[in-house]
Amino acid sequence: MLVPLSRKKFEDLIPLVGTGAQYKYYWGKLSDVLRRVLISISAVAGALLIRAFFATGELQDVVQAVTFFLIILALVYWLWSPAIQAAVRNAGYRRYKYAGFLRGEVLDVFVTDELVGTEESVNNRGELVVTENRERRINVVVGDETGFETRIQVPLKREHQAIRVGDTAEMLALSDRPDLGRIAKVSDIFVSRVGVWVSDYPYLRRDEFEAVSRQINTIEPEDDYREPPRSKRNERRWDEEYDEPRPRKRIPKSKRRSSDWD
């Protein structure tokens, strides 16, 4: 089931300014915080050097004013950087013009070991040693009655073990077409039976999305929910899907009209 949503509801679900969960995602670990602090210190030092060498003569007042604001921004870079990163990532999804509430079914669930990085070191004999960093990830395949199918892969968590094949899966589908004929992106997945979210970065305001799910279960689409278009979502033109022309249908000789032979 795919229910088109209004632009206002779409922007409520994925806000321009990062949510608390999104800010926490980019806040990262202690090593990430220390890295941002080092960047802040380096930026402050650079601004002070610019002021020391160029804040002379006619440009003294201008240079001092500019470097003052640069120093203020640099001092709190470690604090506001996660908010900017979240806003930029949200903007990547908000650039799509249309969105819909997609309810499908979990078709498959499996776990894989994925390579997330490598580390190079030298042992006592001077040989290069490459260490692979692997992470266990859950893969959830979701589809619906129209034939649409997508797979999302995220780091494995304990609560994911409750997900079963056949569970109802809900997500936000994004498209550049008003009829949502081609889905370009999907959001994190909500498995309503067990109340589990499958996601890496939390794109959606989860409380708002769950409220939309409850409303769709109880009311007809109106106001925030536009009526779906008449054309089928998975309808495709032959020329768009294939490079060759549509083949002609062969008609047996016994069923041909006499005009076919004229």
Q: What is the pLDDT of residue 49?
A: 87
DSSP for residue 76: T
**Looking at the chain, how many residues does it have?**
262
Q: What is the pLDDT of residue 232?
A: 44
Q: What is the pLDDT of residue 111?
A: 92
Q: What is the pLDDT of residue 55?
A: 67
pTM above 0.85, yes or no: no
Q: What is the pLDDT of residue 18?
A: 86
Q: What is the pLDDT of residue 189?
A: 94
Q: What is the pLDDT of residue 52?
A: 81
Distance between CA atoms of residues 27 and 19, nearest Å: 12
Distance between CA atoms of residues 77 and 38, nearest Å: 10
Q: What is the pLDDT of residue 224?
A: 47
Whether 95 and 10 have beta carbons less than 8 Å apart is answered as: no
Whether 138 and 187 have beta carbons less than 8 Å apart is answered as: no
**Torsion angles phi and psi, residue 140, rounded to 5:** -120, 120
Q: Which of 202, 215, 173 is nearest to 89 (CA)?
A: 202
Q: Where are the domains positioned within the chain? A: 2-15+97-218, 20-93
Distance between CA atoms of residues 7 and 98, nearest Å: 7
180: left (phi over 0), alpha (psi -120 to 50) or beta: left
Whether 4 and 199 have beta carbons less than 8 Å apart is answered as: no
Long-range CB contacts for residues 197-200, cutoff 8 Å, separation at least 24: 198/138, 198/140, 198/152, 198/154, 198/160, 198/163, 198/169, 199/152, 199/154, 200/154, 200/155
Q: What is the pLDDT along the chain (262 residues), one digit of tens a residue?
A: 888 999 999 999 999 888 899 999 999 889 889 999 999 999 999 888 888 877 676 777 788 888 888 889 989 998 999 999 999 999 999 999 999 999 999 999 999 988 877 777 777 777 788 787 888 999 999 998 888 899 999 999 999 999 999 999 999 999 998 888 888 999 999 998 999 999 999 999 999 999 999 888 886 544 444 445 434 444 333 333 333 444 444 444 444 443 344 4
Q: Which two tokens stand for residue 216?
A: 């769709």
Q: Which of 199, 195, 196 is nearest to 186 (CA)?
A: 199
